[in-house]
Amino acid sequence: ILNVEQSPQSLHVQEGDSTNFTCSFPSSNFYALHWYRWETAKSPEALFVMTLNGDEKKKGRISATLNTKEGYSYLYIKGSQPEDSATYLCASSSAGNMLTFGGGTRLMVKP
C-alpha cells in the first residue's frame, strides 16, 4: 500500500490570489500520478495524469508539475476564482491502475 500525503489540508484565499498545493508519494515503484478536482455534490473530475519526471501539464489557469525522483507534485492555480472552490485530490497509481489517494486539499475562494 502506497502512502500519499497532501498539504495543506485546507486553504482559504481571496479571489484573484494564486495558490499551490503539494502532493508527496513514495518514489519507488512509481507508475503515474493523478490529480482530481471534487466539487461538493458532484463527481470527482480528472485534471491531470502525469508519468514522467519533470512533466508539466496545464489546463486553463491550473497547472501541475511532477518530480518522481523526490516523490512530489505541485498543483498551481493562477488567479483563483470562486468556482475553483473544491477539494483537490492526488493519487498515485499502481501498475494495475489502483489509485491510492491522499487526504485532499480543500480550497475555498472568497469573492
Partner 1 sequence: EAGVAQSPRYKIIEKRQSVAFWCNPISGHATLYWYQQILGQGPKLLIQFQNNGVVDDSQLPKDRFSAERLKGVDSTLKIQPAKLEDSAVYLCASSRGTGPNTEAFFGQGTRLTVV
Closer Cβ to partner 1, 19 or 105, answer by number: 105
The distance between the two most distant Cα atoms of the chain, rounded to a whole number of Å, is 42
Using alpha carbons, select from 86, 98, 55 the residue that is nearest to residue 73.
55
111 contributes a contact to partner 1 by CB under 8 A: no
83 contributes a contact to partner 1 by CB under 8 A: no
C-alpha cell at 51: 508519468
CA distance 97 to 80: 31
64 contributes a contact to partner 1 by CB under 8 A: no
Which of 16, 58, 103, 108 touches partner 1 (CB under 8 A)? 103
Integer CA distances (angstroms), 39 to 24, 47, 53, 95, in order? 22, 13, 29, 28
Running DSSP on this structure, what letter comes out for residue 97? -
Site for partner 1, residues 5 to 44, rule: CB under 8 A: 6, 31-32, 34, 36, 41-44
Query: What is the per-residue binding string for partner 1 in 41-60, x denoting contact by CB under 8 A?
Result: xxxxxx--x-x---------
Residues that bind partner 1 (CB under 8 A): 4, 6, 31-32, 34, 36, 41-46, 49, 51, 89, 91, 93-104
